[in-house]
């Protein structure tokens, strides 16, 4: 579900003639590039929601050059090739850069020049190494599982966790060591997306960045995400919400709180969610009479209310509360809780304080029982 963009390069073009505006240029080679083939440059817009075209170059004899306006501040930019899949992401920061492009494998393209791009490429190269190690480890774990070799499986699980821990530490160090680089913001965004770091840790890393980064469009977006994470962190009061039920009525969270309440984000189309539902049913049957309530928030798509209702029936979920705006990932309740992937679950006490997150399988029943069996 996660997307890692490949990197490219931009170069500063400083005119030697006093009567011309300052700017920068990019240049590069394209493996097997055709004369007349187009090279497209785009950048993220201020809201960081989509790319906008900047300029176009034409390949001649396997090379290209392009003069561009000077940047007031570093920007996340992309280079793509006509007819090629994918793109090369880079930091446009008025630094001389050179591209080496492989249209058949854009992720293998190379960029040189610029401190920001050096940091970015170092980061992405480490990500590729980590992903390769994780794929190898998971393949070995699958073989051990099929062979019912529990000793090897436990050893591989420990090794896999070690790989993840090293990756997390690398991310922390890169953000800490590059407080003036826009790449630190990009890494922070990745850290938010993985949901593997606490809100307090991420806020601390963000606070140590240069003021101009924090005040940039991307910085402000990240701050918004961190504020939402903080609101849905363990120990925080859960954001209250009002949302429509399947019958079209409005349900407010604070009105249905039990001694313990599960706020569970799911969807009819989400296979892992559907797999977890029988466990939620079992815990509900065991503890509802002792004060365990559930509110499931569906992220089903617009116009698919029938699939949402059918899934509730098929999975025997009709004993508790359901709400949905049928807005897919734009659901406002999911936004309030900082939910970027499902299943996602928040366990609340009777005051509405978050006491646990993302408990699945036996862990959910154990935690609910720990509270209600007293």
Ramachandran assignment for 189, one of left (phi > 0), alpha (psi -120 to 50 degrees), beta (any other): alpha
The packing angle between helices 150-177 and 182-194, to 10°, is 150
**Cis peptide bond upstream of 310, omega within 30:** no
- Please give the Cα distance from 1 to 163 (Å, whole number): 19
Q: Identify the H or E element spanning 185.
A: helix 182-194
HEC assignment per residue over 56-88: EEECECCEEEEEEECCCCCEEEEEEECCCCCCE
pLDDT-derived band at 296 (thresholds 50, 70, 90) equals very high
Instruction: Give me the chain's average pLDDT, please.
Output: 89
Q: What's this model's pTM, rounded to 2 decimal places?
A: 0.71
Q: pLDDT tens for residues 138-166?
A: 999 999 889 999 899 889 889 999 999 99
Q: Using a pLDDT cut of 70, give the percent of the chain over it.
A: 94
C-alpha to C-alpha distances, 370 to 15, 322, 365, nearest whole angstrom: 71, 25, 8
Rounded Cα–Cα distance for residues 247 and 224 (Å): 33
The token pair that represents 244 in the structure block:
């429509």
Does 10 have pLDDT greater than 60? no
Task: From residue 63, give the alpha-carbon distance in Å to each of 39, 66, 104, 114, 264.
Answer: 10, 11, 16, 20, 53
pLDDT the model gives residue 11: 26
The pLDDT tens digits of the residues spanning 312-369 come to 999 999 999 999 999 999 999 999 998 888 999 999 999 999 999 999 999 999 999 9
Check residue 23 and give its pLDDT: 62
pLDDT of 100 higher than 90: yes
Give strand pairing partners of 39: 57, 81
For the chain, give the longest Cα–Cα distance. Answer: 82
Phi, psi of 256 (to 5 degrees): -125, 15
Q: Delineate the domains of the chain, giving CATH numbers in brackets.
A: 6-113 (2.60.40.180), 117-231 (no CATH), 242-372 (3.40.30.10)
Q: Over the stretch 55-79, which tens digit does the pLDDT of each residue have? A: 999 999 999 999 888 888 888 999 9
| Rounded Cα gap, residues 304 and 311, in angstroms | 11
| Per-residue pLDDT band at 231 (split at 50, 70, 90) | confident
Asked if pLDDT for residue 7 goes beyond 70, the answer is: no
Give the model confidence (pLDDT) of 155-198 as tens digits. Answer: 988 999 999 999 999 999 999 999 999 999 999 999 988 878 98
Q: What is the CA 119 to chain-centroid distance, rounded?
A: 20
Cα-to-chain-centroid distance, residue 228: 14
pLDDT at 211 over 70: yes
Q: What's the Cα-to-Cα distance from 343 to each of 35, 39, 277, 299, rounded to whole Å?
A: 49, 40, 10, 10
Sorting pLDDT into bands at 50, 70 and 90, what band is 22? low
Q: How far is CA 199 from CA 64, 189, 219, 223, 226, in A?
A: 44, 12, 15, 11, 6
Q: What are the helix and strand counts (H, E) for the chain? A: 10, 16
């Amino acid at each position: 579900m996660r997307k890692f963009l490949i990197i490219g390069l931009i170069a500063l073009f400083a005119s030697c003639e006093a009567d011309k505006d300052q700017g920068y240029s990019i240049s590069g080679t394209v493996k097997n590039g055709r004369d007349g083939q187009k090279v497209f440059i785009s950048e993220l817009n201020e809201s960081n929601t989509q790319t906008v075209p900047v300029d176009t170059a034409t390949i001649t004899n396997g090379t290209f050059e392009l003069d561009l306006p000077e940047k007031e501040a570093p920007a996340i930019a992309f280079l793509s090739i006509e007819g090629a899949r994918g793109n090369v992401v880079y930091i446009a920061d008025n630094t001389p850069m050179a591209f080496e492009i492989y249209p058949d494998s854009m992720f293998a393209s190379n960029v040189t020049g610029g401190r920001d791009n050096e940091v970015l490429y170092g980061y992405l190269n480490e990500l590729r190494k980590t992903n390769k190690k994780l794929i190898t480890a998971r393949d070995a774990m699958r073989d051990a599982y099929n062979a019912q070799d529990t000793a090897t499986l436990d050893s591989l699980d420990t090794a896999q966790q070690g790989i993840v821990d090293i990756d997390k530490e690398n991310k922390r160090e890169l953000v800490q060591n590059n407080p003036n680089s826009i790449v630190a913001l990009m890494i922070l965004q990745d850290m938010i997306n993985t949901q593997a770091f606490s809100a307090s840790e991420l806020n601390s890393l963000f606070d140590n960045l240069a003021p101009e980064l924090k005040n940039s469009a991307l910085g402000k977006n990240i701050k918004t995400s961190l504020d939402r994470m903080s609101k849905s962190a363990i120990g925080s009061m859960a954001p209250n919400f009002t949302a429509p039920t399947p019958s079209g009525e409005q349900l407010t969270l604070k009105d249905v709180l039990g001694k313990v309440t599960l706020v569970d984000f799911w969807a009819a189309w989400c296979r892992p969610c559907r797999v977890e539902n029988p466990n939620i049913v079992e815990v509900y049957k065991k503890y509802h009479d002792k004060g365990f309530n559930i509110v499931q928030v569906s992220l089903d798509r617009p116009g698919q209310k029938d699939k949402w209702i059918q899934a509730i029936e098929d999975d025997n979920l009709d004993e508790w509360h359901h709400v949905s705006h049928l807005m897919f990932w734009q659901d406002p309740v999911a936004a309030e809780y900082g939910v970027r992937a499902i299943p996602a679950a928040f366990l609340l006490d009777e005051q509405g304080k978050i006491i646990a997150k993302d408990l699945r399988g036996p862990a959910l029943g154990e935690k609910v029982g720990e509270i209600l069996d007293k």
